[in-house]
Amino acid sequence: QSVLTQPPSVSAAPGQKVTISCSGSSSNIGNNYVSWYQQLPGTAPKLLIYENNKRPSGIPDRFSGSKSGTSATLGITGLQTGDEADYYCGTWDSSLSFWVFGGGTKLTVL
Amino acid sequence: EVQLVESGGGLVQPGGSLRLSCAASGFTFRSYWMTWVRQAPGKGLEWVANIKQDGSEKYYVDSVKGRFTISRDNAKNSLYLQMNSLRAEDTAVYYCARDRGRTAYDYWGQGTLVTVSS
């Protein structure tokens, strides 16, 4: 059971938009930055969003992040088949004194 | 170009020990926190431990406290994870990652597989 809760799976058609939620508490999301990672099959995770809504260099603006209270959301627009991957949210938990990841969400582009 | 290359994984019996290494290049290693993250087969990501730039602060997930030790050698641009009293549930791909100071992990290695089995 992960400290951060994500839906196990989401799906949408190519070209459409999808959102992935990440729910936590005041000890983690509520008082710390959230980041998002994409893991393509058989590869290492890749940073997509940091500090709630910032994109590293090279990440297209189709990917966006937001945070409100104790929840965060990853948005992906203009879906492509290459976006099929597992997506993870993560943040520091001030009560546990360690980093926590969500359980991951598998994105299927139909 | 930032590169992180893990090594040291392999097959080990329950109760055994293993030392993982992560060789860093392309950035000023001594300026960054560093982290180990693992992923059991078919499962999600699990944060394992991190270490401050000078090694003065270390944090561990509860499940490895007292068994794993994170360390670093800034002169060698290397990160380590000493794993003792290994259990079957420690079987995973272990990744090292550059830590943006508890806000995100911006570069990851390719991972090294640790299998704990008799």
The confidence band for B101, taking pLDDT boundaries of 50, 70 and 90, is confident
Query: Would you say residue B108 has pLDDT above 80?
Result: yes
**Chain B CB within 8 Å of residue A40 CB:** no
Q: Which residue of chain B has the CA closest to A8?
A: B44
B12 CA: distance to closest CA in chain A (Å): 23
SS3 assignment, position A97: coil
Q: Which of A35, A96, A98 sits opposite B103 (nearest CB)?
A: A35
Tell me the two tokens of residue B104: 């995100």
Q: What is the pLDDT of residue A36?
A: 98
CA B46, CA B60: separation in Å to the nearest integer?
11
CA A87, CA A15: separation in Å to the nearest integer?
18
**Chain B CB within 8 Å of residue A23 CB:** no
Contact B46 A101 (CB under 8 A): yes
As a whole number, mean pLDDT of residues A45-53 equals 97
SS3 assignment, position B104: coil
What is the tens place of the pLDDT at every residue in A68-93?
Answer: 999 999 999 999 999 999 999 999 99
**Is B40 within 8 Å of B47 (Cβ atoms)?**
no
Tell me the two tokens of residue B8: 């040291």
Contacts of A101 in chain B (CB under 8 A): 37, 44-47
Q: Which of residues 74-103 of B touch A (CB under 8 A)?
A: 95, 100, 102-103
The confidence band for A7, taking pLDDT boundaries of 50, 70 and 90, is very high
- Find all residues with CB under 8 Å of A53, minimum gap 6, and list them: A64, A65, A66, A67
Cα of A25 vs its chain's centroid, Å: 16
**Chain A CB within 8 Å of residue B46 CB:** yes
